[in-house]
Amino acid sequence: MSDHILTPLQQLNLFIHMSLDYPDDSLFYPYLQRKGIKIKVIGQQVPVPSLVRTKFKEKYNTKINQIVEPEIIFENTTTGDIILLECKTSSFSNNLEDRGAKQALGYLSLENNTLRQYLGLSTESTKVNDLKVLYSTNNKYIEELDIVLDNLNQKLIGITGNLDYEVIGIETNSNGIYINLNENQGSKKIKISKIAPGNINGSVMYIIPLDPSINFKDEYGLKVIEEKIKTTLLISMGRMAGIKDYQFSVSDVCNRIIPVWDIWSPKAKKKVKRLVIRFLKRIIGEMKEKKLNVDFDGVYVKVYKCDQNTADKLRIYLKSIQFNDVFNETEQIEMGEFIDL
């Protein structure tokens, strides 16, 4: 019995966890990594072929998406297959005017070689079709979503080749998080997390706490970002405090708080980097008011050589509840300060 419906952002993070190289006793089971499937890029926009869009409009007098933006583009390192992940909380209508339908038609209109060229991948495949769209959704919507996608795929017959698609169901209960697969031998249920979603620490679950393409106004995600930034400052400042002048960049902070930073799309990174800068300005500003010998110029966080007493004050502050207790702060974040980017 499902207890919790994962949001698209939670699903995105779950699939990232499934793609990482974890040992056997980890909180998350790296199902995709064990299958030889790795992340190519996160949040990359993909253009839908213009000829397909033109033909579809002529036939049905309605438009389909010019671009699609899968949560993740995967590559199977063994077979060369490309998989585009789209995360949904539920199914959607097959009405051609429905937003979800227009998006799905965009995915189903993609052409293998065209997409590979766009991504800078080899087109020397011996297979007829090694491109697939993977939809993930709450487990109870698997059949409904599969029917909708089949119906939409039928409408593309005669306009473009039929693209493979698959629907994965996500199920949660008090014992953890599971994915349900439909395979040739029948359905298969795989446990991905040993802990239920509500019991997983936010900084552990959310490799990407906020995604501009999904929801950039989530207060919980903002809190997780702030917590990760403060943890990074604790580690980066505490060990060298007072010994010598040193600095680290905003990019260093971003790479530490978001481990998949290097494979995230430039568009998403640009917006998140601005958010991190605003957090750093506020956090370092508060530290400067306490005369803790630190500074931030918008590019680099700077920690200056100081006497032992000042260095000890910095370390004590970095370990204090006042600095670290992000989720229980009485002072609320002013949303407008951070999301108007």
Q: How far is residue 159's CA from residue 53's CA, in Å, rounded to a whole number? A: 9
What's the confidence (pLDDT) of residue 238? 84
First-to-last alpha carbon distance for the chain, in angstroms, is 41
Q: Are 85 and 192 in a shared domain?
A: yes
Does residue 214 lie within any of the structural domains?
Answer: no
Q: How far is residue 336's CA from residue 341's CA, in Å, rounded to a whole number? A: 9
Contacts of 245 (CB under 8 A, 6+ apart): 302, 303, 304, 305
Q: Are 190 and 236 in a shared domain?
A: no
Please give the residue range of the domain that contains residue 41: 8-200
Q: Are 253 and 115 in a shared domain?
A: no
Q: Are 87 and 188 in a shared domain?
A: yes
Does residue 316 lie within any of the structural domains?
Answer: yes
In the chain, the number of structural domains is 2
Does residue 206 lie within any of the structural domains?
Answer: no
What's the confidence (pLDDT) of residue 327? 65
Q: What is the CATH number of the domain that holds 16?
A: 3.40.1350
What's the confidence (pLDDT) of residue 95? 96
Long-range contacts, stretch 333-338, CB < 8 angstroms, 24+ apart: 333/219, 333/222, 333/223, 333/226, 335/217, 335/219, 335/222, 337/278, 337/282, 338/222, 338/275, 338/278, 338/279
Q: Are 30 and 166 in a shared domain?
A: yes
Q: Are 133 and 14 in a shared domain?
A: yes
Of 157, 172, 200, the last residue of a domain is 200
DSSP symbols for 280-303: HHHHHHHHHHTT-SEEE-SSEEEE
| Pair of tokens at residue 147 | 């029917």
What's the confidence (pLDDT) of residue 285? 96
Q: Are 152 and 58 in a shared domain?
A: yes
Q: Are 187 and 309 in a shared domain?
A: no
| pLDDT tens by residue, the chain, 341 residues | 446 889 999 999 999 999 999 998 899 999 999 999 999 999 999 999 999 999 999 999 999 999 999 999 999 998 889 999 999 999 999 999 999 999 999 999 999 888 988 888 876 655 545 899 999 999 999 999 999 999 999 999 999 987 899 999 999 998 899 999 876 556 789 999 988 777 777 778 899 999 888 777 788 889 999 999 999 999 999 888 888 999 999 999 999 999 999 999 999 999 999 999 999 999 999 999 999 999 999 999 999 999 999 999 999 999 998 898 776 543 333 333 333 44
Does residue 337 lie within any of the structural domains?
Answer: no
What's the confidence (pLDDT) of residue 186? 64
Amino acid at 307: D
Q: Are 192 and 229 in a shared domain?
A: no
Q: Are 179 and 223 in a shared domain?
A: no
Does residue 335 lie within any of the structural domains?
Answer: no
Does residue 161 lie within any of the structural domains?
Answer: yes
Does residue 242 lie within any of the structural domains?
Answer: yes
CA dihedral 225, 227, 228, 230 (to 10 degrees): 120
Q: Are 142 and 247 in a shared domain?
A: no
Residue 249's Cβ-count burial label (10 Å; 0-12, 13-18, 19+) is: exposed
Instruction: Cite the DSSP H helix spans in 49-141.
Output: 50-60, 99-108, 112-119
Contacts of 124 (CB under 8 A, 6+ apart): none
Of 167, 200, 233, the last residue of a domain is 200
Q: Are 252 and 127 in a shared domain?
A: no
Does residue 336 lie within any of the structural domains?
Answer: no
